[in-house]
């Protein structure tokens, strides 16, 4: 069954690439991706680790959908060829986007990260510097009903935010933090942050609050990077930088800006809780916003 899953996903990648005009560098990237899938010791863990690498995250989300279909659903073999065509077509856009941003050198580096993470998960399951599958499932089960990624509750009193939001702690202890502790630390600020965005659109957030939230997001972004969640780290950094620019009035918090910042929060929740939903649109929106933020920061210099 495992070999079938790997062959299926690898052939989906090949079929999707046949719909694209590829240069030699992109052909090499496709070959490396296929090789990684075929030789994977744990295809499920490798795909989940790919979701943590910014350059591969969007593609990995789509590959995970295919993996879930193959392993958690009753396969209708009479329709399998139709399903294969459908899934390979769905891969085209995400694969094209990945090929525009990744080179063989970057992919080699990313693959080394995957091998390192996989080795740590197999040989050091008790070490907290790696988020193991067991820890991930425990976290998912415990908080399955606490938060919906597309509908963040806003029932948090403005005056209670300092009790609810986690304090900025010493990030150098990241290697010793458990997944449950990490999950709680990252998710606790989400509701207050979403509430803050509503108040921000009404110009009802003080400069001190902007600073406080920006520092918190920066700290949690560094923590996420140390643990290995690069995409979550990127979302925190974008959000933090946006708050700093809003404070200096280099960025005005209109409706589009607020929605882009909210997209960062949605991606954070979806990735950390392993939600089996398509967050491509949110991820694209957040990353485009990140490029806009970077342009503003460059102008400042």
CATH number where 285 lies: 1.20.120
- CA distances to 122, 170, 229 from 126, in Å: 10, 22, 19
Of the residues 123, 156, 189, which one is the last residue of a structural domain? 123
146 shares its domain with 219: yes
Residues 6+ apart with CB under 8 A from 129: 120, 174, 175, 176, 227, 228
Of 121, 127, 110, 135, the closest CA to residue 56 belongs to 110
Strand partners, 151: 148
Domain that holds residue 140: 133-300
**Euclidean distance between CA atoms 144 and 140, whole angstroms:** 5
CB 143 within 8 A of CB 191: no
The answer to whether residue 220 is domain-embedded is yes
Kindly state the tokens that stand for 177: 């933090």
**Residue with the two structure tokens 């560098």:** 25
- The pair phi, psi for residue 63, each rounded to 5°, is -65, -35
114 shares its domain with 144: no
140 shares its domain with 284: yes
203 shares its domain with 91: no
- The C-alpha angle with vertex 158 and arms to 156 and 161, in degrees rounded to 5, equals 75
Query: What 3-state DSSP class applies to 124?
Result: coil
88 shares its domain with 157: no
Radius of gyration of the chain (CA): 20
70 shares its domain with 103: yes
Residues 6+ apart with CB under 8 A from 192: 156, 161, 164, 165
The answer to whether residue 128 is domain-embedded is no
Residues 6+ apart with CB under 8 A from 141: none
- The pair phi, psi for residue 170, each rounded to 5°, is -70, 110
Q: Total domain count for the chain?
A: 2
* Stated pTM of the model: 0.48
Residues 6+ apart with CB under 8 A from 121: 42, 45, 130, 132, 133
58 shares its domain with 145: no
- Mapping DSSP onto H, E and C, the string for 42-82 reads CHHHHHHHHCCCHHHHHHHHHHHHHHHHHHHCCCCCCCHHH
216 shares its domain with 119: no
164 shares its domain with 249: yes
95 shares its domain with 213: no
The answer to whether residue 38 is domain-embedded is yes
152 shares its domain with 197: yes
- The pair phi, psi for residue 49, each rounded to 5°, is -70, -35
Residue 107: how many CA atoms within 13 Å on its side-chain side?
Answer: 20
Of 213, 172, 198, 36, the closest CA to residue 117 belongs to 36
List the chain pLDDT tens, one digit each, 301 residues: 568 899 899 999 988 888 888 888 888 888 889 888 988 888 888 898 888 888 888 898 889 889 988 888 778 777 888 888 888 888 888 888 888 888 888 888 877 766 665 555 433 343 333 344 444 443 443 333 333 334 333 333 444 434 333 333 443 444 456 777 888 899 999 999 999 999 998 888 899 999 999 999 999 999 888 776 778 889 999 999 999 999 999 999 999 999 999 999 998 988 877 665 677 788 889 999 999 998 886 555 4
Of the residues 123, 141, 170, which one is the last residue of a structural domain? 123
Of the residues 90, 123, 156, which one is the last residue of a structural domain? 123
184 shares its domain with 290: yes
CB 190 within 8 A of CB 269: yes
């Amino acid at each position: 069954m495992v070999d079938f899953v790997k062959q299926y996903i690898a052939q989906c990648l090949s079929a999707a690439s046949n719909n694209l005009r590829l240069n030699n560098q992109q052909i090499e990237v496709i070959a490396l991706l296929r090789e990684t899938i075929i030789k994977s010791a744990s295809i499920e863990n490798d795909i989940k680790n790919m979701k943590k690498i910014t350059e591969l995250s969007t593609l990995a989300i789509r590959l995970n959908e295919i993996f879930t279909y193959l392993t958690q659903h009753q396969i209708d073999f009479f329709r399998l060829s139709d399903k294969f065509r459908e899934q390979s077509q769905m891969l085209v856009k995400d694969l094209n986007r990945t090929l525009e941003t990744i080179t063989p050198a970057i992919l080699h580096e990313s693959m080394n990260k995957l091998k390192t993470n996989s080795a740590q998960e197999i040989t050091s399951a008790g070490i907290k510097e790696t988020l193991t599958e067991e820890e991930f499932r425990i976290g998912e089960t415990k908080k399955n009903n606490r938060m919906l990624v597309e509908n963040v509750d806003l029932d948090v009193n403005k005056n209670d935010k300092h009790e609810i939001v986690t304090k900025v702690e010493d990030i150098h202890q990241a290697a010793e933090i458990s997944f449950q502790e990490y999950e709680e630390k990252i998710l606790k600020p989400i509701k207050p942050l979403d509430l803050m965005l509503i108040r921000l659109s009404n110009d009802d957030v003080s400069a001190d609050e902007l600073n406080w939230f920006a520092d918190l997001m920066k700290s949690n972004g560094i923590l996420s990077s140390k643990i290995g969640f690069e995409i979550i780290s990127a979302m925190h950094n974008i959000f933090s930088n946006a708050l700093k620019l809003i404070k200096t009035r280099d960025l005005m918090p209109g409706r589009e800006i607020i929605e882009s910042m909210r997209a960062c929060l949605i991606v954070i929740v979806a990735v950390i809780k392993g939600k089996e939903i398509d967050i491509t649109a949110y991820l694209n929106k957040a990353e485009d916003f990140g490029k806009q933020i970077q342009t503003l920061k460059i102008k400042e210099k």
